[in-house]
Amino acid sequence: MKKRGISPVIATVLLVGMVIVLALIVFLWFRGMTEETVTKFGGENVKLVCSEVIFDASYSNGNLYVSNTGNIPLFSLKIKLVSDASRDTSDVRDLSENWPAGGLNQGATFSGNVGNYDEIVLTPVLLGNSDSGEKTYVCDESNGLTLTA
């Protein structure tokens, strides 16, 4: 009885191919774990700048009034609208369509109608620089304001 195996050349090619595939999987996995850094003001990480954002807002009769009282321009605002009837927080909007084109600079104000809700959570959106160009960054809700009607 003659047993035949695969030739050493084919076995070597298969092993090299498996090593290349595994190396590619590990490389893409590590690449996905790293996050592209978005910077503002000449190299400061935008996450750290979020804590320095200062703005005032008021809400009455469906109208929202926002004033940038800090030194950091607000590119936009993310709004979470909450109604007591359903406590549904799925209505999240971005004010970018009505927002000033260059953002809300220091001392600038904005007003707009967002509808009648029991609670509004405003979260700042900043524009920063990255290796791939300008990129927006949504700050954490802890850096925002919560308004009640």
Domain that holds residue 100: 39-148
Using alpha carbons only, what angle is made at residue 56 by residues 136 and 112, rounded to the nearest 5 degrees?
75
Q: pLDDT (tens digit, 9 = 90+) per residue, 8-41?
A: 888 899 999 999 999 999 998 887 776 666 767 6
Determine, yes or no, domain membership for 87: yes
Residue 89 pLDDT exceeds 60: no
pLDDT of residue 106: 86
| CATH code assigned at 83 | 2.60.40
Residue 3 lies in a domain: no
Going by C-beta distance under 8 Å and a sequence separation of 6 or more, which residues neighbour residue 67? 55, 56, 57, 107, 108, 109, 110
Average pLDDT of 109-127?
84
Asked, for residue 47, whether it belongs to a domain, the answer is: yes
The tally of domains found in the chain comes to: 1
Where does the pLDDT of residue 90 fall: very low under 50, low under 70, confident under 90, or very high at 90 and above? low
CA distance 74 to 100: 10
d(CA 54, CA 52): 6
Confidence of residue 45 (pLDDT cuts 50, 70, 90): confident
Residue 94 lies inside a defined structural domain of this protein: yes
- List the alpha helices (DSSP H) in 34-125: 46-49
In a domain? residue 17: no
- Residue 8 falls inside a structural domain: no
Q: What backbone phi and psi angles, to 5 degrees, belong to 61?
A: 55, 35
Give the contacts of 149 (CB within 8 A, at least 6 positions apart): 59, 60, 116, 117, 118, 119
Please report the pLDDT score of residue 92 as a whole number: 65
Domain assignment of residue 32, yes or no: no
User: Which parts of the chain fold into alpha helices (H)?
Assistant: 8-33, 46-49
Model's pTM, two decimal places? Answer: 0.67
Arithmetic mean of pLDDT over the chain = 81
Cα-based distances in Å from 53 to 62, 69, 71, 98: 24, 9, 7, 21
Contact 68, 105 (CB under 8 A): yes
The model's pLDDT over 46-85, given as tens digits with 9 standing for 90+, comes to 888 888 889 999 888 888 888 999 888 888 888 888 776 6
Residue range 106-132: average pLDDT? 84
- Is 134 contained in some domain? yes
Closest of 105, 83, 103 to residue 95, by C-alpha: 103
pLDDT of 146 > 70? The answer is yes
Res. 88: pLDDT tops 60:
no
